[in-house]
Amino acid sequence: GENVEQHPSTLSVQEGDSAVIKCTYSDSASNYFPWYKQELGKRPQLIIDIRSNVGEKKDQRIAVTLNKTAKHFSLHITETQPEDSAVYFCAANTGTASKLTFGTGTRLQVTL
């Protein structure tokens, strides 16, 4: 089955710095890669996603890159703010595309 690895497990950055979270996946047939943000005590919510026919996607301070050959994708957050502090999850769909498999999560702490 699909295996999604995510690094780092914790990340602390100063406000205004950039944060990068990396994921690798195992199923070469995966074609949909969403990123979710989960604030403390809340539900995971989609912040950005990318499909396999695209190498990069940006939405304001957030960008995602995908390298299909190497089977890895990354989340980039620029000009971090305290409200970016949360747990971030990457995910990938399976070859049969019947489910999303999530990475193990990255706890991002943005300090003043």
Partner 1 sequence: DTAVSQTPKYLVTQMGNDKSIKCEQNLGHDTMYWYKQDSKKFLKIMFSYNNKELIINETVPNRFSPKSPDKAHLNLHINSLELGDSAVYFCASSPVGGHTEAFFGQGTRLTVV
Using CB under 8 A as the binding rule, whether residue 66 contacts partner 1 is answered as no
Q: How far apart are CA 38 and CA 45, in angstroms?
A: 6
Q: How far is the CB of 34 from partner 1 (least distance, A)?
A: 6
Instruction: Give the footprint of partner 1 on residues 44-63 (CB under 8 A).
Output: 44-46, 49
Using CB under 8 A as the binding rule, whether residue 34 contacts partner 1 is answered as yes
Q: Quick one: which of 39, 43, 52 has its CA closest to 92?
A: 52
Six-digit token pair at 102? 């999530």
- Judged by beta carbon, residue 46 or residue 55, the one nearer partner 1 is 46
Using CB under 8 A as the binding rule, whether residue 101 contacts partner 1 is answered as yes
Q: How far apart are CA 9 and CA 105, in angstroms?
A: 6
Per the CB < 8 A criterion, the answer to whether 90 and 23 are in contact is: yes
Q: How far apart are CA 9 and CA 79, in angstroms?
A: 20
Six-digit token pair at 1? 């089955």
Q: How far is the CB of 47 from partner 1 (least distance, A)?
A: 10
Using CB under 8 A as the binding rule, whether residue 23 contacts partner 1 is answered as no
Using CB under 8 A as the binding rule, whether residue 104 contacts partner 1 is answered as yes
Name the residues that contact partner 1, by CB under 8 A.
31-32, 34, 38, 42-46, 49, 87, 89, 93-94, 96-102, 104-105, 107
